[in-house]
Amino acid sequence: MKTPITLNRLYKMLICGAVAASCFYASDVNAQPKQEQQQQVVGEENQNGITGWRIKDFQPYIKAMKDLEKFNIKYADDRLKLARDEYSKALDILEDMEQDVRRMVEKNKQGKHLNERWHWQEVDRLNQLNRRVIMRKQEAKTKAVTYLTRSINYLDGIEEVNKEYVTKNKTYKEFKIKLFQVYVSTQHDLHNYRPCIPVLERYITIDSRTKEDVWAYKYLASSYASVEGVLAKSRGVSEDQIIHSKQKKNEYLLTAVKIEYGVQSPEYKHMKEVVERDEMRTQRLNDYQ
């Protein structure tokens, strides 16, 4: 009578043992890949020298240590991208302004203006149009200068520490030339002459093309002429400052005429006489004083 009970117990024990063995084997199989992945991660960390350091959010307290990042090529590429973005914003503003001005002028041309009976009414309408155009241009160019200045500042940040990147990157130089051209022409249109001078004097040193760019010297002569006029009317300004601006104006003026017409041209000879008379007048004033 006890034999069947014993057999049943033995049968149940065998089943339980088989189930337990299969569960242990499955857990061991699942744990093995995880253990291999952890060992692989640890191995990669050891190879990279990371170990237990959590450096992702590290911010050095010492400024000189943080400045070392500026020598990286990635830093220069990122700065150049930011400069291009600011430059593109400025161009978009200027192009939108030009389209608005064309629309205003075209609308005025196509208008019938049947209410105008006298000539002064037409003159008044055209003056109003001219004022609107000037206001639209000044507004757009003032905004554009803000973005262009930011773009130049980004380039200056690159050039302070990464001279090799500047000299070897051809696209950088081409972008810098266009940026300086747009900046100077926009500032000059706003009658902001003094900020044009340092940018132009950097521009003519970029390469042989910019050194022979006649418009650079025209803008330089015009800017120095404005500075000379302001200094001449100001109090507390030394005579040396005025003479320096005059000499620079005349130097760049002659250079512009020489590049455009040639040394043997009548235009250059005429301009040289004008410059000499200007400098002689200044010399006589100094002798009188």
Average pLDDT over residues 258-279: 91
d(CA 50, CA 25): 35
Neighbours of 178 (CB within 10 A): 11
Tell me if residue 72 falls in helix, strand or coil.
coil
**pLDDT classification of 159: cutoffs 50, 70, 90:** confident
Average pLDDT over residues 151-162: 90
Closest listed residue to residue 155, CA positions, set 127, 128, 174 = 174
Share of the chain above pLDDT 70, in %: 76
Six token digits for residue 202? 């950097």
**pLDDT classification of 82: cutoffs 50, 70, 90:** very high
d(CA 179, CA 80): 12
Tell me if residue 192 falls in helix, strand or coil.
coil
Average pLDDT over residues 228-255: 90
d(CA 241, CA 229): 11
Residue-level pLDDT at 282: 66
Residue-level pLDDT at 23: 58
Neighbours of 77 (CB within 10 A): 14
Residue matched to tokens 């455009």: 260
Residue-level pLDDT at 2: 47
Average pLDDT over residues 58-74: 65
d(CA 226, CA 193): 7
Six token digits for residue 27? 């857990």
Assess whether pLDDT exceeds 50 at residue 155: yes
pTM for the predicted model, two decimal places: 0.74
Which range scores top for mean pLDDT: 17-21, 146-150, 157-161, 262-266?
Answer: 146-150
Choice between 27 and 200, residue whose per-residue pLDDT is larger: 200
Choice between 71 and 200, residue whose per-residue pLDDT is larger: 200
Which range scores top for mean pLDDT: 2-6, 52-56, 115-119, 229-233?
Answer: 229-233
User: What are the sequence ranges of the domains in the chain?
Assistant: 64-104+128-192, 203-289
Residue-level pLDDT at 186: 97
Q: How far is CA 158 from CA 70, 78, 140, in A?
A: 8, 10, 28
Average pLDDT over residues 242-263: 93
Average pLDDT over the chain, rounded to an integer:
83
Residue-level pLDDT at 111: 86
Contacts for 72-78: CB closer than 8 Å, 24+ residues apart? 73/162, 73/165, 75/158, 75/162, 76/158, 76/162, 76/165, 76/169
Within its chain, how far is the Cα of 247 from the centroid?
32
By the 8 A CB rule, do 196 and 215 touch?
no
By the 8 A CB rule, do 181 and 157 touch?
no
d(CA 88, CA 221): 29
Residue-level pLDDT at 16: 65
By the 8 A CB rule, do 139 and 145 touch?
no
